[in-house]
Amino acid sequence: MKAAAMKAADLPALRDALLDTMRAMGEAHLNVGTAGNASVRLDEPRPDEGGHGRAPRMLITPSGLPVPRCTADDMVIVDANGSSLGALAPSSEWLLHRDLYAAFPAAGAILHAHAPFATALACQRLDIPPFHYMIARFGGPTIRCARYATFGTQALSDAAVAALHERNACLLANHGMVVFGRDLSHALALAIEFETLCEQYWRTLQLGNPVLLSAAEMAEVIERFRWYGKPRGAGTDSDH
Ligand SMILES: [Zn+2]
């Protein structure tokens, strides 16, 4: 998975796309009011970065402004050292976004939401086990729950980076979810898929503990997703 190329000339289009993504998160019931935020990478990861290099510039949603009142011009550029360009302050979770871009070169866009079912599970502080094979879409046999830390802090960033090792989504304890994708539309599709899995897990727990897939069964699914992700594959975005 490679982050999409983001050039300065694309900035107006990226502003529109970021605002559209926030609106779509609301329509998909991932976010309500001012909760949640989204960003898109502005600089390509450098080949020598190795996942822990200098943070890239990003475009991120503003702090505390309800989505219906936002315009594309309200989206905020944050540079590598954390200073921002724009009339509004960046989202209170800008540090989380910046640290995830620095840690995960495959992250081209990041979404954070207090989606109802994901948040309900996050309040139980449990990893989501392999109750359904689609868990493998997020990189492994489980989706982890990051340890609790106060919103907007370095401790929360560190917890999320650890929980996202070899994954592209995690729960944040007593808080919500974070998901990254190669671009905004990919990240949005994954976030909706993640919330759907959380709802399915929540529903099956009402009936008792589900039968879990074995390590071998999940390894086989992960391998198949790897192949389906190739250019001539059947595609992993919509047809499973
Ligand atoms: Zn939050």
Does 239 map to a domain?
A: no
Are the C-beta atoms of 97 and 58 separated by less than 8 Å?
A: yes
227 Cα: distance to centroid of ligand 1 (angstroms): 34
Does 237 map to a domain?
A: no
39 Cα: distance to centroid of ligand 1 (angstroms): 13
Token reading at 194? 């993640």
Q: How many domains does the chain have?
A: 1
91 Cα: distance to centroid of ligand 1 (angstroms): 10
Least confident segment among 14-23, 44-53, 84-93, 148-157: 44-53
> How many Å apart are CA 188 and CA 175, to the nearest integer?
19
**pLDDT band of 33, cuts 50, 70, 90:** confident
Range of the domain at 100: 10-45+55-226
The pLDDT tens digits for 77-124 are 998 788 888 789 999 999 999 999 999 999 999 999 999 999 999 999
CB contact set of 227 (below 8 Å; sequence gap of 6+)? 233
Does 109 map to a domain?
A: yes
pLDDT of residue 48: 54
137 Cα: distance to centroid of ligand 1 (angstroms): 23
> How many Å apart are CA 197 and CA 195, to the nearest integer?
5
114 Cα: distance to centroid of ligand 1 (angstroms): 6
54 Cα: distance to centroid of ligand 1 (angstroms): 24
What is the mean predicted confidence (pLDDT) over 120-130? Answer: 96
Does 235 map to a domain?
A: no
22 Cα: distance to centroid of ligand 1 (angstroms): 14
pLDDT of residue 67: 86
What is the mean predicted confidence (pLDDT) over 125-142? Answer: 96
Least confident segment among 35-39, 131-135, 170-174, 190-194: 35-39
156: domain CATH number? 3.40.225.10
Are the C-beta atoms of 184 and 110 separated by less than 8 Å?
A: no
Does 141 map to a domain?
A: yes
Does 234 map to a domain?
A: no
State the catalytic residue, choosing from 93, 166, 217, 220: 93
34 Cα: distance to centroid of ligand 1 (angstroms): 9
> How many Å apart are CA 64 and CA 91, to the nearest integer?
7
Residue 225, pLDDT above cutoff 50:
yes
**pLDDT band of 235, cuts 50, 70, 90:** very low
Residue 93 a catalytic site member: yes
Helix 11-27 × helix 184-206 angle, to 10° = 20
pLDDT of residue 205: 96
Does 110 map to a domain?
A: yes
- What length is written for the chain? 240
Does 151 map to a domain?
A: yes
pLDDT of residue 229: 59
112 Cα: distance to centroid of ligand 1 (angstroms): 6
What is the mean predicted confidence (pLDDT) over 159-169? Answer: 97
> How many Å apart are CA 29 and CA 103, to the nearest integer?
28
If you average pLDDT over every residue of the chain, what do you get?
89
